Amino acid sequence: MRKRATAKQVANAAGVSKWTVIRAFTEGASITDESKRKVLEAAAALNYTPNLLARSLATKSTGQIAVFVDDFANPQKLPFLETLTEQLQAVGRVAMLININHHFDHVHALLHADQRQVDAIILFGTAFRDETLTDRQLGNGTPPMFVLARDSQIEGVPAVVCDAELALREIVDHLHDKGYRRPGFMSGAPALSTALRRREYFSKFWSEKGISHIAHFAAEKYSFEAGALGIRNYLSSTSKDRIDVLMCENDILALGAMDEIRGKFGLSVPDDIAIVGFDNYELGGSSAYGLTTYEQPLREMVGVIIRMIKNEHDPETVTLPGRLVLRSST
Amino acid sequence: MRKRATAKQVANAAGVSKWTVIRAFTEGASITDESKRKVLEAAAALNYTPNLLARSLATKSTGQIAVFVDDFANPQKLPFLETLTEQLQAVGRVAMLININHHFDHVHALLHADQRQVDAIILFGTAFRDETLTDRQLGNGTPPMFVLARDSQIEGVPAVVCDAELALREIVDHLHDKGYRRPGFMSGAPALSTALRRREYFSKFWSEKGISHIAHFAAEKYSFEAGALGIRNYLSSTSKDRIDVLMCENDILALGAMDEIRGKFGLSVPDDIAIVGFDNYELGGSSAYGLTTYEQPLREMVGVIIRMIKNEHDPETVTLPGRLVLRSST
DNA sequence: TTGTATGCGTTATCAT
DNA sequence: ATGATAACGCATACAA
């Protein structure tokens, strides 16, 4: 039964004190080349590596970043998580993935992250009201928080988001140019929807073009199924003067809606109803869907969050431009 | 600036020793109700909760489970991660999500997980050769490992998988019943493919029905794009005696292939070529695809892994039955 | 039941 | 440059 070797054991083997061993493993510590060599040799023989747990306790820095996620229905979460974990690991951090759900809510998660002494908390696509926070005296002892891919609804907590105003302006301009005049908008979970501000700007820019009525569809949550359900009732009850274009708050809703429109109602996209999504999820680009959408600058967004975590960037909300992706659905 | 309160501070406030404070927070410790009440009161006032970092150092148990993932292209990873994190948190554990890639390989990850003293490592959809392990003297000091959703290729490391033999038997029976006689199989990344054994059983059961030639297509990896590429060359170079059914190693490959077959080559599914996938990814069920597939018992699989981690289940490979999902693509 | 001493494996600080 | 002392916050074992 090999156990992890400790600095003390290495010290004995190398004939030095354990502090010299520590120094051999500390960047820029003052130590002779000779000592360092002896230590590293002994360490290799004993398969020694520093215990990060003990190091964290002493330094009060764990290198662990809690990532809160409360919605796994959107497949776009996956590339985001990939980029996030990759970039975190590239700077010596590691992600603690925390699933926020009915059994484990934000308060639990916050307490847990705090108890584990994480260096920071990333609210990925999640946010919550200020009230739950003031209880916890946030901003004092708790780790710094950052919101990713949603507007922050918490005073003093910065967010990194894709520029919704710019995005919706480009989208509405495009739709208007294409000749669409009866727009509809489908939003997802109400609590999250407002933080995206997509509907808000969608209305605003249509209104600037003289169109003030936007049909609104509320999906229960962000999922394929919810997207289909969100439009079903409308399609079966309305046949004339229908919307001619539907913007959905994200791609997965849009794909669900498109599937319903074409598959279940036999309508044509974009001839009967055009569709726009948001995220540029890979499958939306398939020839089966050809979904026009808006791509978030995922790598850049994650990059900014990481620099904030490393204190290389002021903790202020950052808004990055995305990219309109035109396909056959419009 | 509020800092985290320590047991000692609570002890002072409550007028007891710090060990009594510890006992108040230790399940089943011997302590008077009166003392406990005083302690909890003081703790609440000071907003004290035990520091899990220090606890972990002392108990040598962190409650952290490293989850290795090396492929984020398959959207089915997301519901798996959701279930995994949810069930881990339900038993007081938490997931450390580790992205295995070119910059951070298995050996790095293993070392890292070990340094952080995780309680266990889950190789989720990942495995690697024995040789890299023997270096690290695995099975002695390192945390126990488990493979999820792949066969284990490591001696002594158990896996929890969906029963490939049963699955492929059902699939091949179904295809044969439907009258298909010229089967093809598309595999993904070679290193992972063999661990799934899907191709192996696909061949075996067709062979039992007297069909020994299986056209084989090798996709570079498991992604939509790779699925499309995997079949492109074949379709453009072969026009007669083509395969009449294509089984893909997972849904995302199948969707890519189907998109190529219908969208780019104008062929009909299932009339020209039928398609079968594996995983039952939600979008495969859309009317745009209607993909016949095989569903893995994700909750049960995760449940077994967790019981192994809790030592409530012998660390032996477990094979669970899935479910054939018939749709219009066959 | 409660208090004391000691250990977990590091790091920080000081002395040599 | 190296060794020694203290500290990080908690748990374990033992004594009272």
Mean pLDDT of A264-278: 96
Quick check: is A239 in a domain?
A: yes
Residue A230: CB atoms within 10 Å: 24
Q: Which nucleotides of D are covered by protein (CB under 7 A)?
A: 1-5, 7-13
CA distance A62 to chain B (A): 9
Quick check: is B146 in a domain?
A: yes
Quick check: is A328 in a domain?
A: no
- Tell me, in Å, how far CA of B57 is from C1' of D10? 8
Looking at per-residue confidence, does A94 or B221 come out higher?
A94
pLDDT band of residue A1 (cuts 50, 70, 90) is: very low
Contacts of B57 in chain A (CB under 8 A): 53-54, 57
For B329, how many CA atoms within 13 A lie in the half-sphere containing its CB?
31
- Tell me, in Å, how far CA of A288 is from C1' of C8? 59
pLDDT band of residue A138 (cuts 50, 70, 90) is: low
What is the percentage of chain B residues whose pLDDT exceeds 90?
Answer: 80
The tokens describing A219, both together, are 């999906």
Mean pLDDT of A290-309: 98
Let me know whether A211 and A132 are in one domain.
no
For A25, how many CA atoms within 13 A lie in the half-sphere containing its CB?
20
A157, A147 contact by CB (below 8 A): yes
CA distance A327 to chain B (A): 14
Mean pLDDT of B284-311: 96
Looking at per-residue confidence, does B152 or B319 come out higher?
B319
Residue B137 has pLDDT above 80, yes or no: no
Residue A143 has pLDDT above 70, yes or no: yes
Q: Which nucleotides of C are covered by protein (CB under 7 A)?
A: 1-5, 7-13
Last residue of a domain, one of B40, B59, B78: B59
Q: Which of A2, A75, A95 sits opposite B75 (nearest CB)?
A: A75
Q: How far apart are CA A78 and CA B71, in angstroms?
A: 10
CA distance A206 to chain B (A): 31
The tokens describing B58, both together, are 């002392």
Q: Which of A72, A82, A111 sits opposite B79 (nearest CB)?
A: A72
Residue B138 has pLDDT above 70, yes or no: no
Quick check: is B185 in a domain?
A: yes
pLDDT tens profile B247-281: 999 999 999 999 999 999 999 999 999 999 999 99
- Tell me, in Å, how far CA of A20 is from C1' of D2? 7
Let me know whether A286 and A314 are in one domain.
no
pLDDT band of residue A140 (cuts 50, 70, 90) is: low
Cβ–Cβ pairs < 8 A, chains A and B: 164
Let me know whether A184 and A104 are in one domain.
no
pLDDT band of residue B86 (cuts 50, 70, 90) is: very high
Q: Which of B78, B111, B286 sits opposite A224 (nearest CB)?
A: B286
pLDDT tens profile A63-111: 999 999 999 999 999 999 999 999 999 999 999 999 999 999 998 999 9
C-alpha of A42 from chain center: 44
Let me know whether A282 and A307 are in one domain.
no
Instruction: State which H helix or E strand residue B124 sits in.
Output: strand B120-124
Report pLDDT for A11: 93
Quick check: is B44 in a domain?
A: yes
Looking at per-residue confidence, does B205 or B36 come out higher?
B205
Q: How far apart are CA B142 and CA B121, in angstroms?
A: 9
pLDDT tens profile B53-65: 999 999 999 999 9
Mean pLDDT of A180-193: 91
Q: How far apart are CA A257 and CA A318, in angstroms?
A: 31
Cβ–Cβ below 8 Å for B94 and A96: yes
Residues 31-60 of B with CB within 7 A of strand D: 48, 50-51, 54-55, 57-59
Residues 237-266 of A with CB within 7 A of strand D: none
**DSSP H helices in chain A:** 7-14, 18-24, 33-46, 52-59, 77-90, 106-115, 130-135, 164-177, 190-196, 198-208, 224-237, 251-259, 298-309
pTM of the model: 0.95
Report pLDDT for B194: 78
Cβ–Cβ below 8 Å for A255 and B47: no
Report pLDDT for B139: 52
Cβ–Cβ below 8 Å for B96 and A101: no
Mean pLDDT of B81-96: 98
Of the given ranges (A54-68, A117-131, A203-217), which has the lowest mean pLDDT? Answer: A117-131
Q: How far apart are CA A120 and CA A67, in angstroms?
A: 9
Let me know whether B279 and B201 are in one domain.
yes
CA distance A111 to chain B (A): 9
Residues 26-65 of A with CB within 7 A of strand C: 26, 48, 50-51, 54-55, 57-59
Quick check: is A121 in a domain?
A: yes
Cβ–Cβ below 8 Å for A115 and B286: no
Contacts of A62 in chain B (CB under 8 A): 53
- Tell me, in Å, how far CA of B138 is from C1' of D8? 31
Q: Which of A75, A77, A116 sits opposite B52 (nearest CB)?
A: A116
Q: How far apart are CA B247 and CA B277, in angstroms?
A: 6
Quick check: is B204 in a domain?
A: yes
Let me know whether A107 and A227 are in one domain.
no
Q: Which residue is nearest to nucleotide D11 (CA to C1')?
A: B58
Last residue of a domain, one of B15, B41, B59: B59
Let me know whether B129 and B214 are in one domain.
no
Mean pLDDT of A45-58: 94
pLDDT band of residue B26 (cuts 50, 70, 90) is: confident
Let me know whether B175 and B278 are in one domain.
yes
Mean pLDDT of B15-30: 88
Domain at B55, CATH number: 1.10.260.40
Which range marks the domain in which residue A150 is found?
64-161+298-320
Domain at B307, CATH number: 3.40.50.2300
Quick check: is B254 in a domain?
A: yes
Q: Which residue is nearest to nucleotide D9 (CA to C1')?
A: B54
pLDDT band of residue B135 (cuts 50, 70, 90) is: low
From first CA to last CA, the distance across chain A in angstroms is 65
pLDDT tens profile A239-262: 889 999 999 999 999 999 999 999
Mean pLDDT of A298-310: 98
Let me know whether B156 and B302 are in one domain.
yes
- Tell me, in Å, how far CA of B56 is from C1' of D11? 10
At residue B211, φ and ψ (nearest 5 deg) are -110, 110
Mean pLDDT of B65-80: 95
pLDDT tens profile B182-206: 999 999 988 777 788 999 999 999 9
A186, A144 contact by CB (below 8 A): no
Q: Tell me what the pLDDT averaged over chain B comes to.
A: 93
Last residue of a domain, one of A16, A31, A59: A59
Let me know whether B212 and B289 are in one domain.
yes
In which residue are the tokens 């419009």 written? A330
Q: Which of B50, B86, B224 sits opposite A282 (nearest CB)?
A: B224
Let me know whether A196 and A285 are in one domain.
yes
Of the given ranges (A151-155, A312-316, B162-166), which has the lowest mean pLDDT? Answer: A151-155
User: What's chain B's length in residues?
Assistant: 330
pLDDT band of residue B1 (cuts 50, 70, 90) is: very low
Residue A200 has pLDDT above 90, yes or no: yes
**Structural domain total, chain A:** 3
Contacts of A54 in chain B (CB under 8 A): 57
Let me know whether B157 and B305 are in one domain.
yes
Nearest chain B alpha carbon to A79 = B72
Q: Tell me what the pLDDT averaged over chain A comes to.
A: 93
